Amino acid sequence: MAAALLAATALAAAGPLDKTECIAPAKPGGGFDLTCKLVQSGLLEGKYIADPMRVTYMPGGIGAVAYNTVIAQRPDAANTLVAFSGGSLLNLAQGKFGRYNENDVKWLSAIGTDYGAVVVAENSPYKTLQDVMAAMKTDPTKVVLGAGGTIGSQDWMKAALLARAAGVNPRTMRFVAFEGGGEAMTALQGGHIHVFTGDAAETLQQQKAGAKVRVLAVMADKRLPGDMAKVPTAKEAGADIQWPIVRGFYLGPKVSEADYKVWADTFARMMATPAYEKLRDERGLFPLALTGPELDAYVKQQVAGYRKLVEEFGLKVAN
């Protein structure tokens, strides 16, 4: 009887930070995995959780399978976080998450971000973003853009925004879709494409690994720190484009407000420490720390903006 009472007491005392789990909505490796592993390290090293966070993988639709599963089957699992990205929000805006939308989960925290970048080969005749835009305006068929994503993806959107800024209809631009950024980077250096609309952190890591490329501009609201400090923003370079690639987490829709607040407060404390900043920097993410209602407002604003772009670019919206 005493043992049963002890077990019941322990169960009653179990909170959202006990036996934690992070769902990465993709196969191991890649951005979602990185997002889960970053928080796994940050929470454990900061002693916010007693046991290592379990990471599970739920691939499908850049987050669609995980989104539907958590809402329908685990809506009140307070100890389960799900990773999301800017790509997830773009897909939500295109109706690719089925019958659910951005109002159907509890947005918890943004833990960092990357930004879009316009990249050329080191020996490219294009020395500035204005050079690229002028060439596109003169003859859009002569400038081949490419990246890791098909029509409607984040990388395609970045190319389309660049085309529009140059005064070109995105439907007339030449865009080559690759399986991933690595393939596109190889094609860029080989001269098979002329411009890569990729990510700043990804490009920086490729440069450090020996890639012979130059970043003409970053799609951020202000210049990035560190190695990217000398690279102008797209706005400074002549194209008023911003494309943040946020990384963060949400909880199921029926998680209690008390448990939600525990998580939000924990993330806020963790992200304010130098130890977390070091972990984030090591994984190539730039600062963006939003929690609770602040993140909720940010997500709703981003999805609304993406919906507008989807409509403007004439992309098909899933039913």
Q: Which residue among 204, 228, 252 closes a domain?
A: 228
pLDDT at 14: 67
- For residue 82, tell me if it sits in a domain: yes
* pTM (two decimals): 0.89
CA–CA dist 65, 142 (Å, integer) = 39
**Residue 261: left (phi > 0), alpha (psi -120 to 50), or beta?**
alpha
The radius of gyration computed from the CA coordinates of the chain, to the nearest angstrom, equals 21
- For residue 9, tell me if it sits in a domain: no
Are 119 and 223 in a shared domain? yes
Q: How many domains does the chain have?
A: 2
| pLDDT tens by residue, 70-120 | 999 999 999 999 999 999 999 999 999 999 999 999 999 999 999 999 999
Strand partners, 107: 250
Are 102 and 25 in a shared domain? yes
Are 120 and 52 in a shared domain? no
- For residue 84, tell me if it sits in a domain: yes
What contacts 257, CB < 8 A, 6 or more positions away? none
Q: Which domain holds residue 207?
A: 115-228
Are 204 and 101 in a shared domain? no
pLDDT at 150: 87
Secondary structure element (H or E) that encloses residue 30, with its range: none
| pLDDT tens by residue, 171-187 | 999 999 987 788 999 99
- For residue 208, tell me if it sits in a domain: yes
CATH number of the domain residue 224 falls in: 3.40.190.10
Are 222 and 289 in a shared domain? no
Q: Which residue among 228, 258, 275 closes a domain?
A: 228
* Residue of 170, 240, 154 whose CA lies nearest to 232: 240
